[in-house]
Amino acid sequence: MRFIVTAGPTREHIDPVRFLSNPSTGRMGFAVARAAAERGHEVTLVSGPVALKTPKGVTRVDVTSAREMLAAVEDALGDAQDGAGAPVIVATAAVADWRPAQTAAKKLKKRDMTGVLRLVRNPDILKTVKCARKIGFAAETGDALAEAARKCREKGLAMVVANDVTEKGAGFGVSTNRVAFVKSDGSAERLPLMSKLAVARRIVRFAETLA
């Protein structure tokens, strides 16, 4: 099978030295890419800015912004969007929902800044790309299962991997995760605290059932 995996944060620049972003390290996405490659699948990893080594056997595409990530995913998809040979998209990336309406070409001086930053919405990658096999993530701080179920319905996903990032061992920058698999049929499977690689291997095994 072919896998397209997104990982890490995106950065939305205000000027050349300032940006909007989040604390994603990319570990979960890189673990998924590794797990898929270990199973002999063809893997394209589209990564935001992270400090991780590319897993063996994985083709990596580095991007910065949400729009660059969308373009890279669409390029990796090509014409094979549905039917035989269509890839599985596993979208672990923490994509910025908003970006500055304007990006300054030079560093803005404090004296020239008003304290008000106008934002515009970024494209929703999973909603935008036309692919029959999509797996999303929902990193939440409240009712993760309810939010995952909503995303699954609204974005036409096969599954959403939900986690509460406030739980110990399940947030950003750690090697473990505690997740639930929320599927398109409405079922939810809670997994115990596991390494991110162990979670990734479970995700890949589920993806293989979509072939």
Residue-level pLDDT at 132: 86
Q: Quick check: is 163 catalytic?
A: no
SS3 assignment, position 18: strand
* Residue of 22, 122, 163, 177 marked active site: 22
Per-residue pLDDT reduced to its tens digit, 38-67: 999 999 999 999 999 999 999 999 999 999
pLDDT at 79 over 80: no
Per-residue pLDDT reduced to its tens digit, 83-121: 556 799 999 999 999 999 999 999 999 988 888 999 999
Residue-level pLDDT at 84: 56
Tokens standing for residue 177:
């995760």
Q: Which fold has domain 2-208?
A: Rossmann fold (3.40.50)
Q: Could you give the strand order of the β-sheet that contains 58-62, starting from the edge strand earlier in sequence?
A: 58-62, 42-47, 2-7, 88-91, 134-140, 159-164, 180-183, 188-190
Helix, strand, coil fractions of the chain, as percent rounded to 5: 25, 30, 45
SS3 assignment, position 107: coil
| Beta carbons of 129 and 73 less than 8 angstroms apart | yes
Mean pLDDT for the chain? 93
Residue count (the chain): 211
